[in-house]
């Protein structure tokens, strides 16, 4: 699938394929868990999680109804009914964020693409981890600049990360699950948790 619309959320990004592979590889960990996807767009990782038995909530920018429609359409095409799709704009404490049920895992693929948004993403995850202290944030990002890093922000927001080698979940390939999208992009996978004192 390639660009259908200039909106970022109307395209399956290479990071989504890698995160979906991580979810599939760890499908026993997601079974019967409640999983929230941030910046979901076409929602591939969330849909795979649902297929693996998770209760999923899909979210995208509250100001981009086309992206939220896309989340709905992905559910319909995959015969998933009753999935909560909600507008969550990073960095905003909104009624939709406050109304979320407890979550076990937060997913996000390719949400670290605009450095000015990095802290908004992290602050939203921080809010969710304060409410759900045992939750984990599973995220993939594409290395677009050697200067970009979220490590300082994770330290500031009292979170820690583990970089998961792609080969550990068989994602160190240019083609993954019949998709050429990972291609020659450099993609990294992190599991982020709240620092425990």
In the complex with ligand SAM, which residue's Cβ is closer, 66 or 134? 66
Q: Shortest distance, CB of residue 154 to ligand SAM, whole angstroms?
A: 19
In the complex with ligand SAM, which residue's Cβ is closer, 122 or 195? 122
Q: Shortest distance, CB of residue 9 to ligand SAM, whole angstroms?
A: 3
Q: Shortest distance, CB of residue 10 to ligand SAM, whole angstroms?
A: 8
Which residue minimizes CB distance to ligand SAM?
Answer: 9
What residues make contact with ligand SAM under the rule CB under 6 A?
8-9, 12-13, 15-16, 39-42, 60-61, 64, 67, 89-90, 109-111, 113, 117
- Residue reference for tokens 């997601």: 30
């Amino acid at each position: 699938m390639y660009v259908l619309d200039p909106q970022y959320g109307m395209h399956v990004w290479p990071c989504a394929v890698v995160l979906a592979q991580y979810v599939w590889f760890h499908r026993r960990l997601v079974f019967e868990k409640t999983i929230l996807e941030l910046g979901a767009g076409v929602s591939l990782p969330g849909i795979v999680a649902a297929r693996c038995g998770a209760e999923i909530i899909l979210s995208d920018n509250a100001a981009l109804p086309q992206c939220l429609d896309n989340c709905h359409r992905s559910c319909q095409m995959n015969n998933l009914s009753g999935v909560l799709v909600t507008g969550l704009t990073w960095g905003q404490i909104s009624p939709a964020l406050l109304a979320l049920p407890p979550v076990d895992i937060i997913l996000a693929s390719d949400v670290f693409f605009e450095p000015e948004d990095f802290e908004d993403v992290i602050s939203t995850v921080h809010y969710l981890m304060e409410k759900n202290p045992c939750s984990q944030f599973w995220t993939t990002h594409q290395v677009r600049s050697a200067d970009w890093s979220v490590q300082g922000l994770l330290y500031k927001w009292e979170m820690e990360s583990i970089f998961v080698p792609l080969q550990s979940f068989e994602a160190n390939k240019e083609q993954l699950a019949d998709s050429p999208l990972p291609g020659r992009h450099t993609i990294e996978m992190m599991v982020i948790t709240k620092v425990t004192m």
